[in-house]
Amino acid sequence: MTSVHESRRRTDPTRYKLGLSMQGMAAWHLMFGLLSLALLLVVVTVALISDSDGDGLGLTIIAGTVLIAGCLLATLILGGLSWAMLGRGFLHPPWSVILVPGLVGTLTSVVASFIGWPTSEVVGGFVAYRMVAHRLARRTSVE
C-alpha cells in the first residue's frame, strides 16, 4: 500500500474501509453504465437498420436512458463520497482489495432493487464494506 493508504488506514479505519467499498461499487456502476450504453447503441442501430416498430424502439431508448442515467448518477454519488473520505488515496486505489467486493456489492444492490433505490445501495454497500474489511484484515495478517 502507498503511504497515503497506510496513514488513512491507521487514523480512521472505518472511514477508510467505507471509502474503499464505495470506490469499488462506483467503479462497477461506471462499468455497467458504459456496458448498458454500448448495448443500447447496438440495439438502436440494429432496430434502425431493420426498420422495426417505432413504439418499441422508443420505449427501449427511454428504458436504456433511465438505466444509464441511474448508473452514472450512482457512480457520481459513490465516487464523490469515496473521494471525500479517501482524499489523495482515491487516485491510486488498492485494486486487489476493492474489485471483488465492489462487484458483489453492486450485484447485491441490483438484486435488492425491489426494496427501492437508496435502500438497495445501502444493502450493497454494507456487503461490500464487510468484504473490504475482511480482505484488509486478511492482508494485514499476512504482512
Q: Is the pLDDT of residue 116 over 90?
A: no
- pLDDT, one tens digit per residue, over 64-77 is 899 899 899 999 99
Q: Which domain holds residue 40?
A: 3-142
Query: What is the pLDDT confidence band of residue 105, given thresholds at 50, 70 and 90?
Result: very high
Q: Is the pLDDT of residue 53 over 80?
A: no
115 or 54: which leads in pLDDT? 115
Q: Is the pLDDT of residue 141 over 70?
A: yes
- Domain count for the chain, please give it: 1
Sole residue written with cell 422495426: 52
49 or 34: which leads in pLDDT? 34
Q: Is the pLDDT of residue 127 over 80?
A: yes
The C-alpha R_g of the chain, in whole angstroms, comes to 18
| pTM strictly above 0.75 | yes
Contact call for residues 61 and 85 (beta carbons, < 8 A): no
Handedness of CA 96, 99, 105, 107 (dihedral sign): negative
Sort 132 into a burial class: Cβ within 10 Å, 0-12 / 13-18 / 19+.
buried
Return the DSSP state at 2: -
**What is the DSSP code string of 54-120?**
HHHHHHHHHHHHHHHHHHHHHHHHHHHHHHHHHGGGGGS--HHHHHHHHHHHHHHHHHGGGT-HHHH
Residue type at position 30? L
Query: What is the pLDDT confidence band of residue 54, given thresholds at 50, 70 and 90?
Result: low
Rounded CA separation 45/121 (Å): 32
- pLDDT, one tens digit per residue, over 10-47 is 567 888 899 999 999 999 999 999 999 999 999 888 88
